[in-house]
Amino acid sequence: MGEKEEALELETRRKIFAYVSKYPGSHMRKIKRELDLAMGEIEYHLNYLEEHGLFASQMSGNKKRYYVANEVQYPDRKILGILRQKMPRKIILLVMKNEIISFGDILKELDISKSTLSFHLKKLIKSSYLEVRRKGRQKFYSVKDQKRVVQILITYKSSFVDEAVERFIDTWGELKP
Amino acid sequence: MTMMYPFVAVCLAGFAMIQAIVGFVSYRRTGRNKMLLVSLAFCIFSIKGVYALISLYTTFQPLGVPTLPMLVLDLSIVALLYLSILKE
């Protein structure tokens, strides 16, 4: 699956999560209608959200109603601060997609400098959501708690400030003499 | 002095302040000193706008009163940089 498709999937899941948070007990057809999604698509995403512990469901008559699962923990500020930025988000999605990936392979996939990648990887490792293993001279990265990262990416609410900050970092962060 | 002067000064202070705040939040989130430096630069622009207003209406003019064309130039710089973070 391409990067664009993955980002779109994440966005759709975020929309579904936000809708069910606002209207708990919604059933599949209602969510489909309100969010204008195809039946197969909504079914796939609802199953995914249930499997990843974000939603709980209950049968009521012949309808399956969805709720935000009790065990969903909203993310702490520290990790949110990191994952709100586009580049760390891209990195963690790439690592999740590959399960384990080397520094060189991440560099190939993302159009950034070595130093920028090292900077973001260090932050992600420090936040304990990414782990690194050495094999010879190469470093390999993997996501420590994939379920938790999926929860964070889906449950956080982005705001106007987040978008402004992201663009500010994009504009000024990559500038070099 | 026309109404243009305070208008330009307020816009300069405002636009620069918004970017200084966004820059500071970026610094808090990324920890990169570069963001702090850019934020400080905008903060200085903002101070310049506030100083222009103060110097216009009070006798506090240790650096003189900035001229309108200079303020317009400053505002153009800050507004263009503001647009650069609004547009993709």
Residues in chain A: 177
Tell me the shortest Cα–Cα distance from B12 to chain A, in angstroms. 18
Residues of A in contact with B15 (CB under 8 A): none
**Structural domain spans, chain A:** 3-68, 77-173
Domain that includes residue B19, residue range? 4-86
Cβ distance of A81 and B85 shorter than 8 Å: no
CB contact under 8 A, A165 and B34: no
pLDDT tens string B1-16 = 578 899 999 999 999 9
In Å, how far is A137's CA from the nearest CA of chain B? 28
Residue A176 has a pLDDT of 63
**Residue B6 to residues A25, B2, B71, B72, Cα–Cα distance (Å):** 55, 8, 10, 11
Of A77, A79, A57, whose CA–CA distance to A67 is shortest? A57
Minimal CA–CA distance to A153: which of A78, A97, A89?
A: A89
pLDDT tens column, B14-43: 999 999 999 998 888 777 888 999 999 999
B55 touches chain A (CB under 8 A): no
Angle between helices A3-22 and A39-51 (to 10 degrees): 80
* Topology, domain A3-68: Arc Repressor Mutant, subunit A (1.10.10)
| Helix boundaries (H) for A23-84 | 28-35, 39-51, 77-83
Asked if B44 contacts B18 with a C-beta cutoff of 8 angstroms, the reply is no
Count of structural domains, chain B = 1
Give B42's contacts in chain A (Cβ within 8 Å): none
Q: What is the mean pLDDT of residues A54-60?
A: 81
The whole-angstrom separation of Cα A20 and Cα A42 is: 12
CB A117 within 8 A of CB A130: no
Cα angle A157, A158, A164; round to 5: 165
In this complex, do B85 and A82 lie within 8 Å of one another by their Cβ atoms? no
A74 part of contact set with chain B, CB < 8 Å: no
Residue tagged 């512990």 (tokens): A53
For residue B76, give both structure tokens.
């153009």
Percent of chain A whose predicted confidence (pLDDT) is above 90: 5
> How near does any CA of chain A get to the CA of B13, in Å?
18
Rounded to whole angstroms, the maximal C-alpha distance in chain B is 44
Q: What is the pLDDT of residues A150-165, one digit of tens each?
A: 777 777 766 667 777 8
The answer to whether A66 and A26 have CB atoms below 8 angstroms apart is yes
Q: Do A84 and B29 touch (CB under 8 A)?
A: yes
Contact call for residues A134 and A102 (beta carbons, < 8 A):
no
- Residue A40 corresponds to which tokens in the numbers above? 């197969």
Print the SS3 string covering B8-22.
HHHHHHHHHHHHHHH
Specify the CATH number of the domain A77-173.
1.10.10.10
| Residue among B2, B7, B26 at smallest CA distance from B79 | B7
Picking from A115, A120, A165 by the largest number of B CB atoms within 10 A of its own CB, the best residue to mutate is A165
